[in-house]
């Protein structure tokens, strides 16, 4: 007579069946009845097998009667809690279940929302986010598999984990199950980053889909069970996988992680079948499992290194890094403002030098972005001008402190006004308008503002090559009248009546060089007077 364990014991070897029979007191009567039935089918001679069968049937009948009598709420609660308790044939699954639940409790204690935590909070505690995962924080591929986006997300995944774990773990054993779970989780996270690395991804679904894929391959490749015996199980598996993939098509679901886990699980299932000659076994060797784990990690590491860290992922990472460096540098400015006239060069000059290095690092990061278009490209260009002005401002403050000059002299005020304009542009999202006007006519009150060209560089932290030494070509009504620095200016410019100025144009970088050759390498100030 068939029962719910008939198909599972049919794939076991004869020695394993005899072992179960010998340790029959540790198992349910229904399992032992299935073992006895399989031994009889194989015509294995076992002493007193019929007598043992009758005893087991009686025990099974008694257990059914007891089960029917225990329908109280306390009994149901006790059965429910069994899914959390590690036991023989079901050890790793409850450990993973409890670990996911514990992590969720910690998330709540940290203040994350019960139903829908914010992406920034999930990132802060280890969520999978391409700009950082691909820039060296590879461990996010693993930690994200234990985080969930709310209680519903958690419960759905844990129900699926228990469902597949109860069946699969006793088939292949603890260690292969755990190794496969981890590898599938990593594969899901990796494909998620490759497919769309601009959002925070969390959840155990990649690993769980991997377990479904592994079980599917085990059933498909196993050679002892008949197609009739496999058909129902395979049909259910395909249906579950199809429903979940279909559900993943809706917005907000990380189907890439599902697919990555499923592919990895299918590959691992094929490997396990190859290792056991297409017979499912719970006794895979530790050496072979270790080799499988090592090969999987090496392959995933290679895939991690070949995912391009370009485009939007690098843009988002760079912008965040620039913001962090800005926050650190601006602390010095805040302290300097609080000190006011009491500011001492011995205290603040080293901090300003550090600030210059931070702005220089930000400039280098921004200059490396050459593969974004549209508003992203405009924002990078405006941020570059903003960062360069900040660097000039810090250099000026450093020199003013060293030379005991007033910190808010006219030159510094003009730079700060330009910085405020750029900051307003960035806050209001009007970078495209700023780009359209960046090299055109500017206010006559700003002739002192000198922007370094896009192609010019200065040694990191070299304050001797500061704004006071930058020679900017001055052209009045089309005539080159000499060079201007922050400390000196041509006589024609010094004697020029501002009321007679029609407009002033600042040329930088390539535009200045194209118009005036190497004479305009540091920039050009073109002044047109009223005729």
Distance from C-alpha of 382 to C-alpha of 238, rounded to nearest angstrom: 53
pLDDT of residue 190: 97
Examine the pLDDT at 437 and tell me if it is beyond 80: no
Examine the pLDDT at 446 and tell me if it is beyond 50: no
Examine the pLDDT at 232 and tell me if it is beyond 80: no
Q: Using 50, 70 and 90 to split pLDDT, how confident is the model at 475? A: confident
Distance from C-alpha of 206 to C-alpha of 188, rounded to nearest angstrom: 5
pLDDT of residue 410: 67
Examine the pLDDT at 451 and tell me if it is beyond 50: no
pLDDT of residue 304: 96
pLDDT digits (tens, 9 = 90+) for 114-125: 999 999 999 999
Q: Considering only the top CATH level, what class is 87-306? A: mainly alpha
Examine the pLDDT at 313 and tell me if it is beyond 50: yes
> Does residue 83 sit in helix, strand or coil?
helix
Q: Which residue has the higher pLDDT, 496 or 375?
A: 375
pLDDT of residue 459: 33
* pLDDT, mean of residues 24-40: 83
Q: Using 50, 70 and 90 to split pLDDT, how confident is the model at 134? A: very high
Q: Which residue has the higher pLDDT, 437 or 196?
A: 196
Consecutive H or E run containing 513: helix 509-516
Q: What are 389's two structure tokens?
A: 């002005």
pLDDT of residue 442: 32
pLDDT digits (tens, 9 = 90+) for 204-224: 999 999 999 999 899 889 888
Name which of 34-38, 235-239, 254-258, 343-347 the model is least confident about: 235-239
Domain boundaries, the chain: 6-69, 87-306, 311-438, 467-529
Compute CA distances 58 → 31, 48, 51, 52, whole Å: 14, 16, 11, 10
Q: Using 50, 70 and 90 to split pLDDT, how confident is the model at 21? A: confident
Examine the pLDDT at 274 and tell me if it is beyond 70: yes
Examine the pLDDT at 419 and tell me if it is beyond 80: no
Q: Which residue has the higher pLDDT, 47 or 78?
A: 47
pLDDT of residue 132: 96
Examine the pLDDT at 400 and tell me if it is beyond 90: no
Q: Which residue has the tokens 């560089």?
A: 457
pLDDT of residue 477: 85
Helical ranges in 368-497 per DSSP H = 375-402, 410-428, 431-437, 491-494
Consecutive H or E run containing 502: strand 501-507
Residues serving a catalytic function are 205, 258
Provide the mean pLDDT of the chain: 82
Q: Using 50, 70 and 90 to split pLDDT, how confident is the model at 270? A: very high
pLDDT of residue 209: 93
* pLDDT, mean of residues 268-289: 92
Q: Per-residue DSSP letters for 25-54?
A: GGS-HHHHHHHHHHHHHTT---TTHHHHHH
Examine the pLDDT at 138 and tell me if it is beyond 90: yes
Examine the pLDDT at 455 and tell me if it is beyond 50: no
Q: Using 50, 70 and 90 to split pLDDT, how confident is the model at 249? A: low
Distance from C-alpha of 18 to C-alpha of 6, rounded to nearest angstrom: 15
């Amino acid at each position: 007579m068939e029962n719910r364990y008939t198909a599972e014991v049919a794939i076991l070897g004869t020695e394993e069946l005899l072992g179960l029979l010998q340790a029959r007191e540790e198992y349910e009567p229904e399992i032992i009845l299935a073992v006895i039935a399989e031994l009889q089918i194989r015509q294995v001679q076992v002493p007193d097998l019929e007598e043992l069968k009758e005893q087991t049937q009686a025990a099974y009948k008694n257990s059914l009667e007891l089960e029917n009598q225990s329908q109280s709420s306390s009994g149901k609660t006790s059965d429910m809690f069994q899914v959390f308790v590690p036991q023989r044939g079901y050890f790793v699954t409850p450990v993973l279940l409890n670990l996911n639940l514990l992590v969720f409790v910690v998330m709540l204690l940290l203040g994350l929302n019960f139903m829908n935590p914010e992406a920034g909070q999930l990132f802060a505690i280890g969520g999978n986010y391409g700009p950082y995962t691909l820039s060296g924080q590879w461990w996010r591929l693993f930690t994200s598999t234990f985080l969930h986006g709310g209680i519903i997300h958690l419960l759905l995944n844990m129900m699926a984990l228990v469902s597949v774990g109860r069946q699969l773990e006793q088939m292949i054993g603890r260690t292969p199950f755990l190794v496969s779970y981890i590898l599938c989780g990593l594969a899901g996270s990796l494909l998620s980053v490759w497919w769309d690395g601009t959002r925070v991804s969390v959840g155990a679904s990649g690993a769980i889909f991997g377990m479904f894929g592994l079980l599917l391959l085990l059933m498909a490749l196993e050679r002892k069970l008949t197609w009739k015996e496999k058909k129902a199980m395979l049909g259910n598996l395909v249906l579950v996988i199809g429903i979940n993939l279909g559900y993943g098509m809706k917005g907000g679901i990380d189907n890439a992680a599902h697919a990555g886990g499923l592919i990895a699980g299918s590959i691992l299932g094929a490997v396990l079948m190859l290792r056991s000659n297409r017979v499912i076994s719970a006794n895979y060797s530790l050496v072979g499992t270790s080799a499988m784990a090592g090969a999987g990690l090496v392959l995933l590491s290679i895939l991690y290194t070949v995912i391009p860290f370009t485009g939007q992922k690098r843009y988002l990472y760079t912008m965040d890094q620039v913001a962090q460096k800005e926050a650190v540098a601006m602390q010095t400015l805040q302290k300097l403002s609080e000190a006011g006239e009491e500011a001492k060069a011995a205290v603040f000059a080293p901090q300003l030098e550090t600030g210059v290095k931070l702005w220089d690092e930000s400039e280098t990061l921004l200059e490396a972005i050459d593969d974004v278009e549209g508003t992203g490209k405009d924002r990078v260009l405006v941020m570059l001008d903003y960062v360069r002005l900040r660097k000039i401002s810090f250099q000026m403050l450093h020199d003013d402190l060293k030379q005991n000059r007033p910190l808010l002299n006219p030159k510094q005020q003009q730079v700060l006004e330009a910085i405020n304009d750029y900051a307003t542009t960035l806050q209001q999202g009007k970078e495209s308008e700023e780009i359209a006007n960046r090299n055109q006519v500017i206010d006559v009150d700003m002739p002192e503002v000198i922007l370094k060209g896009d192609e010019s560089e200065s040694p990191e932290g070299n304050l001797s090559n500061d704004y006071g030494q930058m020679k900017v070509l001055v052209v009045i009504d089309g005539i080159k009248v000499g060079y201007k620095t922050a400390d000196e200016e041509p006589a024609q410019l010094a004697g020029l009546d501002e009321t007679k100025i029609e407009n002033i144009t600042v040329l930088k970088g390539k535009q200045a060089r194209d118009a005036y050759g190497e004479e305009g390498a540091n920039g050009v100030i073109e002044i047109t007077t009223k005729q």
